[in-house]
Structure formats: structure tokens, C-alpha cells
Structure 1
């Protein structure tokens, strides 16, 4: 077995872990979901979900990984040897690997659009309709879909094969500042466009009349997906930490930076969308159909279009390498494979596994698995079932099986003054399972087309949404009172 590496610095770990969380979910998915759910009010709900669910689960996964110093499967074998709980880690490894197989297809589109924007393809088209419809033609092309899917996998393999310090950490130290710099340039261009004020108002001024209970569950799902929860990535990255690292501050910093980048993406996109009179609620086509037209009409668009798609590529790569590292760590730790053998083998298998997803918009459009294309089937399986189930079981495992006391002790190794320990365990025991179970429940209900089931689902979503809001308010207010009381007590003792 190869000697286990560790992160060279906490800064490098934070960038790598944040890069693993920041991906197309932040810059592609977050803006269109925000646009669909009314703007600023949705953003507030999303931030609340990240605080109440995201931070506790990230801290749980980091503590598991560092305690075991093993991959996602080995973690549960070390902490609870001789039991069957390792299946949680196995499901996480499988989830990350399946996500990589279709995620690389979307990443491939961004690579293709980067080259097309460099060549001026979109500016040569005669009408906005032609630019918007080009995406359908592009994604249906077998050569382009498979070719750029493979290109993205190779990019990830080149980085992961070099290891933790020399590959992932070094790449993220370069890519993450570059991502932030490009994003800031895009924001400056976007907010200085004539008519951009309407987009800024939409994004920063809450209008709760546009908010529905559906938006609450959209925010929950988005926070879960974008923070890479339940797929073994955070456990794996946490296993490369040392005992001197502060897990609590790391969890907060990762969540903050991930959310911060998502919000910056909104500032880059919505002012430009409104400046050119386009509706914000266009769904997944917002980036590939609408923004290409925005860049065509924008002064300097020939420069900003390739910059923006390069930004998407960086975001995709930093997430892609974290997904590939999950399966790599498993084979290195549990099977004794070399890193080189694992990356070359599993990278190739991932490419082959993703081919049906790449062809789902063209040659295999008529092929269905349980009524869905291969792409939609794998996406739905991971997002609606495997991710929330993984997060739910990790919460239960840490709070009840490993035990809250032991989990707190692990966090205190690098942070002796962990005053929010009891709040963290309370959230893992009661709040996180209740909320994450709802994501799983509505994922199941969404598979049914019966009017009765749809009606029941809407009613249930409405009342659970109200309960979730009350719980969130109670947690925030109660947590604040608890922290203040603890600090006052310590001052009296001091």
C-alpha cells in the first residue's frame, strides 16, 4: 500500500475542498434555480439551508475522514469494525463515480462552447434563435459529445495521478484564484451594462411573494448537491488532514466560500440577463442558450464569452478531480492498487460509463431506462436517492452509532474550544435527518405521475415547508442564545 499523503497546508486543503464543492452546480445550476424561484428570497433560503444542514454534515464527514485516515469505505471499517456500516461508504464511492460519468458530459459542453466562442462561431450566426437552437445540435453530435466528455476525463486524470500535494492541491492553488479573478471581471462587465440595475434588484431585493414551498426544497437539494455531501468526497479529502487541523473552522470556511462563489455567479449573470431583456427563469438552458446571445449583443462579448466558459471549465475540473479522487482513494486504500494504475483504469472506465449519457441527446435519445434517457436516469438516481440517502445515513451514523461524544472529541483535537459541539450533535441527531429525509421522500414521490400522488405531494410539501421554516428560525435563534450564554459564562469564570 502506498504511503498516505497529507495536505501540505490548510490553505491548500481549503482551496481543494472548496474547489470540490464549487462546480457547475454553483455557476450553472444555482443561477437558473434562483431565477426560477424568484431571486433574492430564494438566496436567503439557500443560505439558511447551507448553515443548518450543510455545515453540520460537512463537519461530520471531515471528522470521520480525519479520524480514520482512510477512504470512504475504510472509514466505517476503522470506526465500527466488524459491522456492516461500510456500505454507506461504498454507496458514497458509487455515487461519486456515477455522478462523474454524466457530470463530465456537461463539463464537455462547456469545453466545446469555450472553443466555439474563441472561434467566433456564435457571432457568425444570423439570429438569436439560431444561437439558442445551436445547443440542441451541439449536444446531439456524437463526435463532440463523446470527444469533449473524454477530454474532460483526461484533464481530471492528469491532475489526480500526480497525488494530493503535487496534483490536486497544486492545481487548486492555481485554478481557484484564477476562477475568482475571472468571475470578478465578469461581474464588473455585467453590472456596468445599461439596464443591469433591474438584474441587481432581482438578485438582492427579496420579494417573498414570489417564494413557494417548492423553493424551499429546491434550496435544500441545491445546497446538498453543491456542497458535495453524501458522496464520499468530503470524507476522502478529510482523511488527508492531520490532527492539528481545525475541522470546525474548515467546515465553516468551505461552506462560506462555496456559497460566496455561487452568489458571485448570480451577480455575473442576472444583471447581464436583465440588461438585454431576457427572462431569468429559463431553466438549464440559461447558460448555453441565453448567455451566448447576451455575449453576442454585449460590447466586448468576443472577449467575455470565452472568459466565462473558461470559468465554467475551471469550476468543473475542481469538482471532477474530487469525484475521481473518491474512487482512487478506495482502490489505493482497500485494494492496494497503485495510484497510477487506479487513475488510468478507473478514468477509462468512467469515460466508457459516460458514453450512454453523452449520447442521450442524440443517438440514444429514444432509449429509455424506466422512462428516462441514460443521462436523466443516472442524474435522477444520484440526486434524488443516493446523495440524500448517503447524507441521511452519515448523520445517523455520527450521531447514534459512532456517538456524539466521540465525534465532539475528534473535532476538539484541533479545536479545544468547540463551544458549538452540543448544537452540532443536536442538529445531526434530529434536524438533519428530518430535513434530508424530505429530499429523499420528494425524490421518490416525483417518480409518480398519478394526479392523486401529485396533489398529495404538493400538500405535503406545503406543510413540511412551513415546519422547516419554523425549525430553521428556532435553530438560529436558539443557537444564538446558547452561544451567547456560553460566552458569558466563560467570561464570568475568567
Structure 2
């Protein structure tokens, strides 16, 4: 077995794992979906589902990675019983990571553009309608959007080319530290705005009537879906970081630490967005346009809005790039396991060129290829659907069944790996729960995702 790089510290493992999980789902989707589905009451459901479903799946993916010392491209090969076909999922897992970056780098590029616009004062005195027009103009410009996407691709692979310790771990430690500082500053500013108290009450004091207003089943599904997808499990992203750590600590405790940091960022993002929306009488549940259209309008109404807007989109850059770097590291590791003769730097160069080309359709889908419609949406929406509604839930179900079933890796092997080292132990009584209940919950999310997509 070839030598494998490792993280320099336990903190580095927790921060890079959380950094991969922390992304636009936390700081973009979480605030508006919380605002739409009941505030504090929704958060309680989200936390319950995170504990019941998200953490067990993450622990299993970490375990597969640590036991195999391989990425998703080879981990199933190493652990599966002879003659079984669990390794077939490897191809879909690799594809999922690549497809995710094919559209995620476009959105990350938008964050760079908005940060620049705020620094340059481009949004000064703009009204809401004008901000919306500015967003459409930005996405409609293939040159600017392509350059911004290219910056995200080049920066991500440049960090990965430095190695696990000197690049991925070192950079993510700094980014996560700055991200937390920026969150604290923005949250303090938001909750001290005149009129923010109503937003704080909505966000922090449960009102369960909000659940019935939005439909109990619908709110439960949304909370379950958010809790599940926020951890980015199912494509080997957590497995690769598990492969870089030793066996000094048991993995349930590490999963809890990662999930806690991920949740902290999500909750703080809501604390930034929702009180500010209430302060300026803006709907916090306004959907995906919240970040690029609604919030810029809010910032323009604030004293010092240019400064706070720039700070917010710098925060968004760190959140987006932490995921970009984490997923790119997974992609590099996958192909390094498949082609060990190629050096990391050569692999990163190939990855930069290849991913830049593959990411062009998502960029062009807003301008030159805007007539291309796939399943009722543009190219970016279609790629997002492939990953979020298909590869993530199916992959998570594969990991759970692989760890639970006798014709997979098996429960005994999983328990031995997960509980190796100091810390919280995965309970043996949970075998039936993980074998039956968790897969059923994942299938519900998968089916409801299709219903939501095609039935409205």
C-alpha cells in the first residue's frame, strides 16, 4: 500500500471536514428555508434529524475511509467481500464530486464578483429592482462569469497542489478562523439593528403554529432534507478525510464535532440574515434570490452598507471556497489512487484544465446557452439536481447498507473501526435502527426530492 499523507492535527481534521460540509447550503439555503418554514420551530426539527440521521451516516463514511486508507475510487474495493459489487458505486461517487464542482465553482465565482462590486461601490444607492437587474447582467456576461469561475478553479487546485498538511489543512484552518470572526462581527451588527428584535424572536423562540401553517409533513421533510444534505455525505467527501487520520480517536465523537461546527455556522448565518431582514421589512423566506438580490438591498439601507456588504461576501467566499478545496482534494485523491504514478502537482494541473472546461456549461447556461433547458431548468439547476437529489441520497444509503449488511463490510467491522480509540462509542443497539430506519428516511428524501422537482 502506497504511503498516504495525514493531517498534522486533530483540529485540522475537524476543520477541513467541517469546511467541506460548510458551504452555500449553510449560509445560503439555511437562512431562507428557516425563514420560510417556521424559524425556531423549524430549527428544533432540523437539529433532531441531524442527530438521528446525519451523524450516523457521517460516522459510517468516516469509518470506511479510515479503514481502507483510500478515497471513494478504491475504498469499496479494499473492504468489500470477494465477489461483491459494492465498488460499482465508486464511479458514481467520483462523478458526483466532479459534477458538484462543475456548478459550484460558478456560484463561488459570483461571490468573488459581488465582493469586488461592494469594494468598488457598484451597489451604492441601488434599489431592489436595480440590484436584480445587476445580478441578471452579471450572470448574462459570459466573459466576466467565466473569469470568476476560473479564479475559483485555479485557487482551489493551487491550494490542493501544496499537499494535505501544507495546503488543504493550513489554508482551511486560516479560512475557518477568519470565517468565524466575520460571522461574529456580522451577527453582532445584524442583531443590533433597529427593528431586529422581531427577527430574533422569530429565529430563537419556537412557535409551533408555524409548522401547521406550512404543513407538518412538508416542514418535516424540509428539515430532514436540510439536516441530511448539510453534511455533504454520500460522495466520499468525508471518507477521504477519514483516510487521512489515525485511530487515536473514535469516530462518533469526531462526527459530532464536525456536525456541531457545521451547525454553528448555519445557525450564525441565520442570525446574520433573519434579524436584518426583519429590521428592513424584507421577507427572509424569499428563496435563492435572498443572497444576491434581497440582502444587497438590505445592505444599501444600512449605515455603512458598502462596508457590511463587502464583509458579508468575503464571508461567503470563505464558506464557498472551503467546500471547493475540500471537494477538489477528494477529486485529486480519487485520481491519485487510480493513477499513483502521477504526482500531486501534475494531477492538480490536469484537474485545473479539465474542471475549467467542464464548468463552462453551467456558466454559459445563463447567457450563450440560456435556451438549453434540462428537466425544466438551466444547466446549473440540472447539475445541482443530479448531485443533490440523486447521488448524495443514494450514496448515503450505499454507505449505510455497506456498513450494516453481512454481504457488505458488515456491522462488526464497522463497529471495530468506528469505536477504535478514545471518545464516544457508536452504540451496538443501533444496528437495527441503522439497517432499517436510516435507509427508509433516505429513500423518503430521495422520493420527495423527485416529487418536489416534478410536481411542484
| TM-score higher than 0.5 | yes
- Match for residue 121 of structure 1? 122
**Structure 1 stretch displaced more, 85-94 or 59-68:** 85-94
Q: CA deviation at 1:128?
A: 2.8
- Match for residue 63 of structure 1? 63
Q: CA deviation at 1:141?
A: 1.3
Distance 2:256 2:122 in 1: 42
Question: Which residues in structure 2 correspond to 1:291-302 (within 5 Å)?
Answer: 291-302=295-306
| Mapped pair 1:333 → 2:337 | yes
From 350, 354, 367, the equivalent of 1:345 is 350
From 432, 436, 443, the equivalent of 2:442 is 436
Q: Is the 8 A contact 2:250 2:424 kept in 1?
A: no
The size of the alignment, in residue pairs, is 448
- Match for residue 232 of structure 1? 236
Per-residue CA shift, 1:85-137, capped at 9, x if unaligned? Answer: 11223222211110111011111111100000000100143x33212332122
Q: Is the 8 A contact 2:73 2:335 kept in 1?
A: no
Q: CA deviation at 1:3?
A: 3.0
Distance 2:182 2:104 in 1: 22
SS in 2 for 1:342: helix
**Structure 2 length normalisation: TM-score?**
0.95
- Match for residue 164 of structure 2? 164
Return structure 1 stretches of 4+ with deviation > 6 angstroms.
none
SS in 2 for 1:72: coil
**Structure 1 stretch displaced more, 308-317 or 239-248:** 239-248
Per-residue CA shift, 1:439-482, capped at 9, x if unaligned? Answer: 11123334544xxxx7xxxxxxxxxxxxxxxxxxxxxxxxxxxx
SS in 2 for 1:6: coil
CA 129–333 in structure 1, closer or farther in 2 if over 3 Å, else same: same
Q: Is the 8 A contact 1:398 1:428 kept in 2?
A: no
- Match for residue 190 of structure 2? 190
Per-residue CA shift, 1:228-281, capped at 9, x if unaligned? Answer: 111110011110011223312110000111011100111111111110111111
Distance 2:397 2:247 in 1: 26
Distance 1:39 1:261 in 2: 16
Distance 1:421 1:302 in 2: 51
| Mapped pair 1:269 → 2:273 | yes
Distance 2:203 2:412 in 1: 42
Q: Is the 8 A contact 1:52 1:427 kept in 2?
A: no
| Mapped pair 1:244 → 2:248 | yes
Q: Is the 8 A contact 1:60 1:394 kept in 2?
A: yes
Q: CA deviation at 1:416?
A: 7.5
Distance 1:371 1:425 in 2: 41
Distance 1:31 1:82 in 2: 46
Aligned Cα RMSD in Å? 1.6
Distance 2:332 2:20 in 1: 15
Distance 1:130 1:194 in 2: 25
Residue segments in structure 1 that go unaligned for 5+ positions in a row: 455-494
Q: Is the 8 A contact 2:250 2:423 kept in 1?
A: no
- Match for residue 324 of structure 1? 328
Distance 1:190 1:300 in 2: 13
Q: Is the 8 A contact 2:252 2:424 kept in 1?
A: no
From 368, 375, 380, the equivalent of 2:373 is 368
SS in 2 for 1:402: coil
- Match for residue 491 of structure 1? none
Q: CA deviation at 1:320?
A: 0.5
**Structure 1 length normalisation: TM-score?**
0.88
Q: Is the 8 A contact 1:2 1:332 kept in 2?
A: no
Q: CA deviation at 1:83?
A: 2.9
Q: Is the 8 A contact 1:195 1:275 kept in 2?
A: yes
Question: Which residues in structure 2 correspond to 1:371-390 (within 5 Å)?
Answer: 371-390=376-395
| Mapped pair 1:413 → 2:420 | yes
CA 416–13 in structure 1, closer or farther in 2 if over 3 Å, else same: closer
